[in-house]
Amino acid sequence: MDIQERLTAFAMLGASWVMWLLVALSVVVLAIVLERAYYLFVSRDDIAGLKRDLIDRLRIGDTLGTEKRLAESKSWEARIALAGLNAAEDGAASAEEQMTGEAGLAKLAMERNLAFIGTVGNNAPFVGLLGTVIGIIQAFHELDTSGGQVSAGLMGRVGEALVATAIGLLVALPAVAAFNYFTRVIRARVARGNALGASVLAYLKSTRFSTSPVDVPLAGE
């Protein structure tokens, strides 16, 4: 049996399994979307208010109060700033490195499983197209079997092929939209976290860890 005969035999299995695969993928995507939406919802905070509190406390040198306020927040933005504040004793440069690392961890945590959504969104139309190709092959086989006469079986095969394409698009469009939405939300939250961290870093550089000029004795003194 040559490769063409093998492919034809495979196509004769029908396109139904392709459509069931797309349905299964859509269920998994929906589960991930709901889980990520819940995760991002419960880990949010009033970042504008948090930044005001942070700046007000740092202006009076209340680092302990600032750490407590940041620790009370469930947001990743607060964790980024807190990482820098916890490394304050090691200097501003060390605090900046800690915040950079925490921002990377925050991004990874918030992006968990989003790659799967993006993959499904990009490839679901091609899976649907595979079902369409299989359906067309079956339609030609049905046409050959009926001696060139249009039959109900032929129309059913053509309809199955078109449905596979439609399901592929229906799965892909929401997946792409969800992926783009979550990507924008995560990018914004990391940016807000970096903004909080910048406030901490400015405090460390200008106040607590500022160095006084060394008095150099003048000649003759």
DSSP letter at 75? S
pLDDT tens per residue across all 221 residues of the chain: 555 455 455 444 556 778 888 989 999 999 999 999 999 999 988 888 888 888 888 888 888 888 888 898 899 999 999 998 888 888 888 888 999 999 999 999 999 999 999 999 999 999 888 888 887 777 666 666 656 555 555 566 666 777 888 888 999 999 999 999 999 999 999 999 999 988 888 888 876 444 444 443 444 44
Tally: H helices and E strands in the chain: 8, 0
Structural contact between residues 54 and 72, judged by C-beta atoms closer than 8 angstroms? no
